[in-house]
Amino acid sequence: MLRLAKICFLGFIFLMPFRIDFLLWQVPSLNFSFFNPYLSHFLSLADLVFLGGFLLICPLVFLGRLSLAPLRKIWKLIALFVLCLFLGFVFSKNLANSAFYILRMLQFGFLSLLVYLEVVPSRLATRAFVLSVAVSAFVGLLQLLFQQSLGLSFLGESVLARDMLGVAKIDIFGDKFMRPYGFFPHPNIFAAYLLFGIFFIFVDQKIRFRPFLAAFFALMFVLTLSRSALLAMLVAFPLLALGQRKKAFSFSFFLPFLLFIPLLLVRFFLDSSGFAERSVYVKAAALMIKDNFLGVGVGNFTLFAQKYAETKLMPWMFQPVHNFFLLFGAEFGLVAFALFVVGFTKVFYDALMAKKAFSLSVMVALFTLMLFDHYFLSLVSGQFLFAFVFSLVLREVYFDDR
């Protein structure tokens, strides 16, 4: 039974990027004449696989077949997590929407504990993750070449074209090119998955086709043109490379970064698209926090975005503020925000004191990404990614040093 449960959870990790799902519920509102993904909730094939694993593992827990003793080392962090969820729900302006977010976060919290306890073996989990991202990377490469989606909507691919409104593009010499999505809702979160996939490949010396995977992931990572992910790579990967006494990647890994330096420079210094919209969200978040110091409730930012925005929002502009910490403060409230900062800082400090290069690099990468995007809170794939990599940090910092 335990082995079957492990297979289910590994299958869940592999299936997470594939949005094979159907709409379960969305916030009924006369104010939205368009689809708002942040107020809509789905049931996916991955969820059903997770449910199978959950039903198999629960009897083993109740029968004492699984030791929960290692959880004593992180019980304070678990308590902070539960308290933050409680505060993000109890003061919510829309309890139904927040309830779906809370259930999803509890789901990923449960998976995190299984990874921490090694019920889901961390090496197998990271390999399932890498395999899944590799499939998305191949699809992303074809999207980039054809400049449109491939018709794989049944696997969760977004409908994409370079001339569609709302599709992420880059302007090069007056011509617009679509950025690759893979099976993800946006290239930025695709880049985050590639980033941590590179980390996992780097520390796993026995993974098959390691040189090819590293070079391919690097190529697709660069081509996503995600500024936040590139910055996270710049500050976090050297910590991992210097701290891990393992064979470094070959030159083929660094080649994409060198070949596309001109494109990266254009993206960083000449492409200012999105900056004006992001400033609107920042100001709206600040006003929202000022009026609701206990938060508007997890998942409810876009529900009240227009009320606090200084300009009329177009349909594609209804999205959370592109800063995890501002979004957390606006939705969970300042009390929960303080609790989160305490917990995150403690884990970062413990990783630093323990001299765990992998954990330290992951925490630095997470922090950098959190400064410039919202998907760790607002998107299911982002919530999963945060919970998964954070569980690996907890395992290395606390469980492995028992």
Is 389's pLDDT higher than 80?
yes
Assigned token pair, 287: 């006003």
What would the pLDDT profile of 152-207 be if each residue is shown by its tens digit?
Answer: 999 999 999 998 888 998 877 778 899 999 999 999 999 999 999 999 999 998 89
Question: Cα(330)–Cα(339) distance, rounded to whole angstroms?
Answer: 14
- Coil, helix or strand at residue 22: strand
Question: Cα(396)–Cα(389) distance, rounded to whole angstroms?
Answer: 11
Question: Cα(18)–Cα(336) distance, rounded to whole angstroms?
Answer: 31
Question: What are the residues whose beta carbons fall under 8 Å from the beta carbon of 311, sequence distance 6 or more?
Answer: 280
Question: Cα(254)–Cα(32) distance, rounded to whole angstroms?
Answer: 45
pTM equals 0.95
Question: Cα(259)–Cα(27) distance, rounded to whole angstroms?
Answer: 46
Question: What are the residues whose beta carbons fall under 8 Å from the beta carbon of 322, sequence distance 6 or more?
Answer: 278, 281, 282, 372, 373, 374
Is 323's pLDDT higher than 60?
yes
pLDDT value at position 272? 61
Of residues 273 and 44, more confidence is placed in 44
Contact predicate 204/196, CB 8 Å: no
What would the pLDDT profile of 69-97 be if each residue is shown by its tens digit?
Answer: 899 999 999 999 999 999 999 999 999 99
